[in-house]
Amino acid sequence: MAGPNVIFIVADDLGFADLGCYGGRDADFGKVSPVLDGLAAHGIRFTQGYSNSPVCSPTRFALMTARYQYRLRGAAEEPINSKSKGSTTLGLPPEHPTVASLLKQAGYRTALIGKWHLGYPPAFGPLRSGYDEFFGPMSGGVDYFTHCSSNGQHDLWFGEEERAEEGYLTDLISQRAVGYIDRVAADGDTPFFLSLHYTAPHWPWETRDDEALAQEVKNNLFHLHGGNIHTYRRMIHHMDEGIGWVMQALRRHGLERDTLVIFTSDNGGERFSDSWPLVGGKMDLTEGGIRVPWIAHWPAAIAAGGVSAQPCMTMDWSATVLDAAGAPPDAAYPLDGVSLLPALHDPGHGFARPLHWRMNHRGQRALRDGKWKYLRVDGHDYLFDLTADERERANLAGREPARLADLRDAWERWNETMPPIPEDATVSLGYGAKDMPQR
């Protein structure tokens, strides 16, 4: 086999410290994430890993392309909402190379099981962007039992056909992934790329035992009146169990050693998430909105127990997958992501490279360069030393004006290389200060 099998797992709105291996607390039922904790213990985890955005669909553009999402119009939506159904502009253009399409050209079988959130058919869809097969929702959020999106429309797809299927969505996604592994294992030695994109632990706040809630929240999936940390932890645990089923399938077929399994979240946590010691969450460019778990497990190439402090972001992991598979990028679409393969082999390996973000929401911008972070929110500039203050409470802008100016200028120079934010780009907020005290 030329390259490893790859399973790229993405959780939805998971906080930095929600997993035990990142300092998460136990639940009343015990360990919240024993499977993921085990993958980290027998692989490598990154302590300075980021998402490309603090909100869903923009990160997914970067995940698919290994490029800054700002290069594509659809990623200017924060996020793409269900009202965009039928749009021919708000989605991932089929002509743009993706990790899936490049791996397919390199001889891989490809599948996306779980959330897409990059535009609707007929203009967009997984089958138009390199995937051989697809099962899951097209939109950003659905009920776990009715599988209806926030506009009340059914949103569970097989390929490009909507089809009803009963069951708790987290389990359906896990079971479908196991079935896929069983099928590809029976078909021979062709390597596979499985994008396993859970909707957990995104709202609505439903465990396997909460089917009755589906009717109660059907007109407001944001579920502002419900949820608690106990339900939230159970939702994470259901996902963790499903990942355990996937790992068991790999072992059953003798595929675990030669399969690269990657785990992360699309952005920082939401209402009930734990992001200690970070501040902020989804929609914020403070650390709690963008720093996320990154775990990689690949027994043939990654030694157990590795911990890396290399700063990295979503698009780097996409570049890493292509590098590991020996799949060259398209020269017409040069990657912004940098392969982390050397760090997977040697956790002490490091390299210097700035990371950039921008958000239409609140005029946010951020630049991390080494230990320093420049942040702007609501027109206010901040400077933080993340080595000393990853909680971002000690603003050094007044004490280090020259450094602040240098980083601000560096961000401006980078921003000039990106398309501007379109005037018609939208920001969709599910709730605000009137609904609950802010973070």
Q: What is the mean pLDDT of each run of 10 residues along the chain (439 residues)?
A: 91 99 98 99 99 99 99 98 91 99 98 98 98 98 96 96 97 99 95 99 98 92 94 99 99 98 98 97 98 99 98 99 98 99 97 98 99 99 99 98 99 99 94 80
Q: Are 32 and 207 in contact (CB under 8 A)?
A: no
List, by residue range, all CATH 3.30.1120.10 domains of the chain: 361-415
How far apart, in Å, do the first and last CA atoms of the chain sit? Answer: 49
List, by residue range, all CATH 3.40.720.10 domains of the chain: 5-351
Looking at residue 438, what is its pLDDT?
Answer: 72
Looking at residue 436, what is its pLDDT?
Answer: 81
Residue numbers annotated as active site: 56, 117
Q: Which two tokens stand for residue 247?
A: 């790992």
Looking at residue 1, what is its pLDDT?
Answer: 47
Looking at residue 435, what is its pLDDT?
Answer: 85
Q: Are 8 and 194 in contact (CB under 8 A)?
A: yes
Distances in whole angstroms, Cα of residue 318 to Cα of each of 244, 257, 310, 383: 23, 20, 16, 29
User: Which of 202, 74, 189, 72 lies closest to 136 in space, CA to CA?
Assistant: 202
CATH of domain 361-415: 3.30.1120.10
Looking at residue 439, what is its pLDDT?
Answer: 64
* DSSP assigned state of 89: S
CATH of domain 5-351: 3.40.720.10
User: Which of 50, 55, 95, 54 lies closest to 72 in space, CA to CA?
Assistant: 95
Looking at residue 430, what is its pLDDT?
Answer: 80
**Residues paired with 307 in a beta bridge:** 45
